Every structure is written in C-alpha cells, then in structure tokens.
Amino acid sequence: MFNQLGQQLTAQGITGRHQPRAAGAAPAVDEGDAGGEPPMDPRYAAAQEALGEGDIDRAVAEYQKLVDGNPADLEAAAGLAMAKVLQRTRGVDPQAARAAAAADADDVDAQTLVADLDMLGGHVDDAFNRLVDVVRRTSDADRNKAREHLLGLFAAVGNDDPRVRKGRQSLASALF
C-alpha cells in the first residue's frame, strides 16, 4: 500500500521534496545527485520517514504541523490529504466497502470510503465522479459531507491537475 501511495504521490508531482517550479515546467534535477533526484527538503523528512515506516498517524501529524505552520504550502497540504486517505482506508476490506457502497448509493460514508480506495488505486476520475454523484443525489448535511470530502481529494491531487479542474466543474454543476 505504501508503494502505491508513493507511486500516486510521485505521479501527481508530490515527492516530499519542495522544488517550486513554473506551471508546466519539469522539476529541477540536481545533476550532482547520484540518483538524478533533487535533494529532499528537510521540512518533509519527518513525514516521509513516518510514511516509510508505515506510521500513518505520525505522518498525518507531521504534515499537519507543516500545514499549520504554512497554510500556503500546497505540497504539505497534498501530502496531508493523501496521508489522511491512507489513514481512513487502513484495515478496510475493499470488497466489503465496495459491496456496501453498491448496496446504498446514498450512504455518504460508504461512498466516501470507496472514493478513497479509488484514489489509492489510481482511479482519480472514478473517485471524483462518485462523490459528484453523491453531491447531486443528496442534500443538507450529507451533501456537505460529500462535498467537503471531495474538496479534500482535490487537495490530494493538486489544483493544477486537469482532472481536478474537470472535477471542480462537475461539482459546481451538481451544486447549482
């Protein structure tokens, strides 16, 4: 599961290394690094170490400290969001979760859990679409809960991702 998370984070440009770059630009590479990767930003070291050790709760706490210290740190926010996805899905039986979601399309808890599983499996569009559909079908507190969960998944992927832009448009359409 941690390898999958690492792959997902890397695919989304979240490496645990803070390398600001212009939109659309390739990440900077330190030619002196034997692995061809930029050096790890020490701010993210504790969270990355916790994830590497399988200590999801500590990773969440470390990312939360970073976000609390600098709410504009989008990389820390994305790391926090993905670590929370791991935290919520820890110990979950994917088949049972999917069966529960299939049995009740309006069960917000079941749908958000399966959306988290979709995210971990790399099915980002499926996760977004599932929750947009829940927002469309529900109202009041349930609708808000699904919407907030979806916003958290958007944060995990990153606002520059075209899937997030499409998901935000779908969410706006569902809300209005």
The enclosing domain of 56 has a CATH number of: 1.25.40
Residue 143: which CATH number?
A: 1.25.40.10
Are residues 171 and 99 part of one domain? yes
Residues spanned by the domain of 168: 94-175
4 pLDDT exceeds 80?
no
Is the CB of residue 135 less than 8 Å from the CB of residue 154?
A: no
Is position 23 within any domain?
no
pLDDT (tens digit per residue) in 27-57: 444 444 445 555 667 888 899 889 888 899 9
Is the CB of residue 78 less than 8 Å from the CB of residue 155?
A: yes
13: left (phi over 0), alpha (psi -120 to 50) or beta: left
Nearest to 129 by CA among 155, 95, 164: 164
How many domains is the chain partitioned into structurally? 2
pLDDT (tens digit per residue) in 82-141: 999 999 999 999 999 999 999 999 899 999 999 999 998 889 999 999 999 999 998 899
So what's the pLDDT on residue 36? 53
So what's the pLDDT on residue 19? 41
23: left (phi over 0), alpha (psi -120 to 50) or beta: beta
So what's the pLDDT on residue 1? 54
